[in-house]
Structure 1
Amino acid sequence: MIRAWLRQDGRKGIRNVVAVAYLVECAHHVARRIVDKADDPDVQLIGFPGCFPNAYAAKVMEAIATHPNVGGLVIVSLGCESFNRERLRAVARASGRPAELLVIQETGGTAATIAAGAEAVARVRAAIAGVPRGPMGVEELIVGTICGGSDGTSGITANPAVGRAFDRLVADGAACLFEETGELVGCEAIMADRARTPELAVAIEQCVQKAERYYAIMGFGSFAPGNAEGGLTTQEEKSMGAYSKSGASTIDGILKPGDIPPTGGLYLLDVVPDGEPRFGFPNISDNAEIVELIACGAHLTLFTTGRGSVVGSAISPVIKICANPDTGRRLAADMDINAGRILEGAATLEQVGTEIYDKVLAIAAGERSISEQLGHQEFILTYKAFDPIGPDCLPTKTGLGGAHERAA
């Protein structure tokens, strides 16, 4: 049974994290030392490094600060960056979360702010210690998925096993998010065939075409040398493997980073910036994608890997699913599930899909994922720009046959 933390804004969290947020790289060290002094796995570091945030960065930071897994916030500002610190604190407080603000230039520098920050964290921890808890159904979960370090086994073991788990979660009413539109080039017609409406089908095709154009103009693709070394041969092969994580359910909508799914169902997260390409590689690391899933409310993320990846994330637990049996043996201490057993005939896709589904419920109920146990709390946020999603991209309650609505 999932016993969630009940937030004042009506959302339910599976963790009760104090987020310490720096607003510019100049405040990163001080914020990190505040987290270090707390020495608590539920006091975690997030932040934005740039001096001039744009609308995307502000939207994502506000979404993370009010994420259902976040109980309270301590903001660390240098003082002269352009991030609207007062707005971030106001947004957090308006959601019912305690939020404190430290400005290094006003507090007295590094040592004084670290000391003040430790006291602020203690106050926030005390304030959220009594947050009430209550039951949470599977239908209230938001679950994301990404793949990283893919190889020739990813598309035949871990990724389709996640697809099986997604199908079951969607059937139960959960919201499931898959992304990496740059790695879905060539799959747009297949996805369009699964769209709930003709208008959404057109939007899905346009979404992938945008990604293909972006990558072509920037002069790179999502097919990396590590993928080739791991046995992948073409972009199409990689795309089909990535696509298999989405399962076989109807696709109900498209989201952009920071958009919360309005109902249960299956959603494509568009992570490639809109407009003319000007930001470089759309996601400079897997953790940038995880942050965007979290900004859409993901309570946890299913991370598949063939070559091997050891990362986790701040705020929302990461479940690591290894595709390659050899990698699974080498990196067994970093993996939650060894889907490579499928390749060796020791398990079926359905069995591993059920194992993933059960692990989602166990982690949501409080079990710590392997990356959590190892202390992984990676977080990265850079620059992008997005246009608002259009009405064709979101389902309605009646259009989903009565699926539950979600609080934004």
Structure 2
Amino acid sequence: MLQAYLRPDGRKGIRNVVVVAYLVECAHHVARQIVTRADDLDTHLIGFPGCYPNDYALTVMQALCAHPNVGGVLLVSLGCESFNRKALLDSARAAGRPAELLVIQQAGGTRSTIQAGLEAVARLRAAADQAPRAAMGLDELVIGTICGGSDGTSGVTANPAVGRCFDRLVEAGAACIFEETGELIGCEKIMASRAVTPELGAEIEACVEKAARYYTIMGFGSFAAGNADGGLTTQEEKSMGAYSKSGASPISGLIKPGDRPPGGGLYLLDVVPDGEPRFGFPNISDNTEAVELIACGAHMILFTTGRGSVVGSAISPVIKVCANPETYRRLSEDMDVDAGRILEGRSGVDEVGAEIFDLVVATAGGRRTASEDLGHQEFILTYKHFEPIGPACLPVRAA
């Protein structure tokens, strides 16, 4: 059994992070200075830059501030932005997280707010360190996966190896989430055939069709120049590679950012905004998608890359699985798993999948990933819009 941090709301975390969250870009510098001067690898910066209110941003921030890996929350507001700071503060406290609020316009400006913030972080860290430890089973884990910087090796090495790992985790009762619906165009009928109900299958097809419409109208998709340079030739080819991360388990549900899986199983996260495409609503950022997975409760992220993405994330550790053996040799310090050895005949997909599974367990037990050791704590939150999911999306919960 793993040892986890037991939160007052009953959830269990594998890290004990204090988050400092800015609520408008005008407060970003002050919040960043607080985190930098705190000089603590487990104090992380998150935030929303916009001044205009956005329900999606509030939902995601509420989910993050109540995430099981979070042990304390400091909100940094300028004072005149439209973000609902009271709702965020109240929700964090309702989840049992020690939480404080600083308003720069009331605290006396930059220097005084930074000093007050450092004092607040010290209090929050002391409170977080009092969190009791409790046993945690694999069936209590939530694991997300994304791919970034994909090339022609991704779909034959790292991605299917993650799929094998997912199958083992699902069998053990964990909740596993795959996403990037814009990178699953062409795979919708295959995924629908794996849905636990026909109604869920229809929802999956509809969400991928929405992604195709969205990208057609916006005039761009998830197929980047770097993907082509790496040997991928079509969106469908890239989609099949991305799809292989899902493994072979039945798909138990379809969720949207901020929704939590109701239990163990495999879930698809729809990350393409609902409604008409709008300026400022693109969906091609790996770190935005990592944040959305974490907002769904992911304790950690399995990130596959062929070209060599080096990012991590705030709040939840990122395990980097490198698909290309040449990339691994160049960037080995940023990678956790060399899946490229499959291509060179030095290992098989099942063996690498087992290695990833063991690393998931070790990371849940406290082992630091490469991105954590290097200090990667990337975070992006932008404007989006989502409608609530319908009952057909979570037949497990409906049952």
TM normalised by structure 2 equals 0.99
- The answer to which of 275-284 and 69-78 deviates more is 275-284
**Which residue number in structure 2 is paired with residue 406 of structure 1?**
none
Q: How many residues align?
A: 399
Q: Residue 226 of structure 2 corresponds to which residue in structure 1?
A: 226
Deviation at 1:41, TM superposition (A): 0.4
**Distance 1:398-1:56 versus aligned 2 partners, 3 A rule:** closer
Contact 1:4 1:12 in 2 (8 A): yes
**Counterparts of residues 4-403 of structure 1 (less than 5 Å):** 4-280=4-280, 282-396=282-396
Residues in 2 aligned to 1:254 and 1:349: alpha-carbon distance in whole angstroms: 27
SS of the equivalent of 1:304 reads strand
SS of the residue corresponding to residue 396 of structure 1 reads: helix
> Residue 177 of structure 1 contacts residue 293 of structure 1 at CA under 8 Å; is this kept in 2?
yes
The 3-state SS of whatever aligns with 1:32 is: helix
Counterpart AA for 1:186: G
Contact 2:336–2:370 (CA<8 Å) still a contact in 1?
yes
Q: Structure 1 pair 188/152, CA: closer, same or farther in 2 (3 Å)?
A: same
Task: Say if 2:3 is the partner of 1:3.
Answer: yes
In terms of mean alpha carbon deviation, does 390-399 or 136-145 score higher? 390-399
Deviation at 1:37, TM superposition (A): 1.2
TM-score (norm 1): 0.97
Instruction: Report Cα offsets for 1:307-331 as digits up to 9, x if no partner.
Output: 0011000000000000000000000
Cα deviation for residue 240 of structure 1 reads: 0.2
Distance across 2 between alignment mates of 1:205 and 1:275? 16
Taking the aligned partners of 1:214 and 1:27, their CA distance within structure 2 comes to 32
Give 3-state SS (helix, strand or coil) of 2:155's partner.
Answer: helix
**Sequence identity of aligned pairs in percent?**
74
Unpaired runs of at least 5, structure 1: 400-408
Letter in 1 for 2:242: A
Which segments of 5 or more consecutive residues in structure 2 lack a partner in the other structure? none
Match of 1:403 in 2: none
The one-letter code of the counterpart of 1:207 is: C
1:284 positional shift: 4.0
| 8 Å Cα contact 1:262-1:395 kept in structure 2 | no
The alpha-carbon deviation at position 263 of structure 1 amounts to 0.8
CA shift, 1:53, in A, is 2.5
What's the secondary structure of 2:315's corresponding residue?
Answer: coil
Residues of 1 paired with 2:360 and 2:113: CA distance?
38
1:220 to partner: Cα distance: 0.9
One-letter code aligned to 1:374:
L
What is the one-letter code of the residue matched to 1:233?
T
The superposition leaves residues 135-163 of structure 1 with CA deviations (integer Å, 9 ceiling, x where unpaired) of: 10000000000000000000000000000
